[in-house]
Amino acid sequence: MRRQVGRGDADRRILHCDMDCFFAAVHMRDDPSLRGRPVVIGGDPQGRGVVAAASYEARAFGVHSAMPAARASRLLPDGVFLRPEFERYQAESDRVFAVFREVTDLVQPVSIDEAYLDVSDCLAAYGSATAIAKELKSRIKDEIGLTVSIGVAPNRLVAKIASDYRKPDGLTVVPPQRVQEFLGPLSVRALMGVGPATQAKLNKTFGVETVAELRRVSLVELCTLCGKNGEMLYRFARGEDDRPVDPVRVRKSLGSERTYAEDLSDQAAIAAEISRQSQGVARSLSRRGLRGTLVTIKVRYDDFETVTRSKTLGFSTDDGGDIEKTALELLQRTEANQRPVRLLGVTMGRLMGDALETNRERQFELF
């Protein structure tokens, strides 16, 4: 059933469902000896890989996703390190999303283990959004053997914050009349779009630390400090978010990147890698019926400094020659000919075409 056009927050019921330590949980479910132990999923801790996921026991030692696996092994000398099995995770994700879609067809995947559900038109069958959330949690635990944390709220912003409120295996319900009360004492970092830099600016300029304190800052002041994001922060501080749950998303970019076991110093080898990735991106575009106009390369040096270089073409293309030529030109605008390189990537953006796909598939391209 489709959400009614023009429905306000008072009538909307949005669920944000976030699987608990999904990758690690799949392994721990199937191997009871892993339960209660610090489990890390990712690359070789003796090599150059990164952490893809970590159990809560591992997170307690400071291990987190995107951390170099070698550093994680130093923090967790007795940890269990496992290589990712993405086909296995995808199969489990498909089972979870099938349960979601038995409740509503308004399911917006955010990643392989996370989604928004608009259940506004499903309340009559279940009684309430809270009852739907409890039903989903029960079914996923009983049928799949995994746990999910769910936030229930009148919009996506608050539902997302609520799902993280009582992890793992949590359920937090925020009715419309309690939105501002719920958000008020939270750090401004809880709001989407507020990172460390914005948090520091808000604190330095206005002495703001909590969402309630942010509400005392005027719209003009926020726009002066934060530019176009000022209006968004003003609305989010008040729990206002009219973004719909969108079950189909147009892919905005498609790319490839690789971290190397040993730094690349040879210019010919670096250029060959850029060429190989460019051709791979072209094949992926062609298979999906997509073309793009923005070529971007990513270079990470041995000291972890990362730079990107982009160029907009005067035409759309999925041709490997066009992408490769542009990417190699962009490579000349980096210091890859002077400094060792640990990661290279090529991406085509501003895509157009008939092919649509969900966000879930993107996560696999990162590893």
Q: Which residues are catalytic?
A: 114
Q: 325-334, long-range: CB within 8 Å, 24+ apart, which pairs? A: 326/295, 327/274, 327/275, 327/277, 327/278, 327/295, 327/297, 328/271, 328/274, 328/275, 328/278, 330/295, 330/296, 330/297, 331/270, 331/271, 331/274, 331/297, 331/299, 333/309, 334/297, 334/299, 334/307, 334/309
Structure tokens at 356: 């649509």
DSSP readout, 276-305? HHHHHHHHHHHHHTEEEEEEEEEEEETTS-
Residue pair 41/24 in contact (Cβ under 8 Å)? The answer is: yes
Cα-trace Rg, the chain: 22
Give the integer Cα–Cα distance in Å for 97 and 5: 25
Q: Which region holds residue 83: left if phi is over 0, alpha if psi is between -120 and 50, else beta?
A: beta
Judge residue 30's burial from the number of C-beta atoms within 10 Å of its C-beta, 0-12 exposed, 13-18 middle, 19 or more buried.
Answer: exposed
What does residue 179 show for φ and ψ, rounded to 5 degrees? -60, -50
Closest CA to 299 of 257, 261, 265: 257
Residue pair 17/110 in contact (Cβ under 8 Å)? The answer is: no
Structure tokens at 102: 């038995």
The amino acid at residue 171 is L
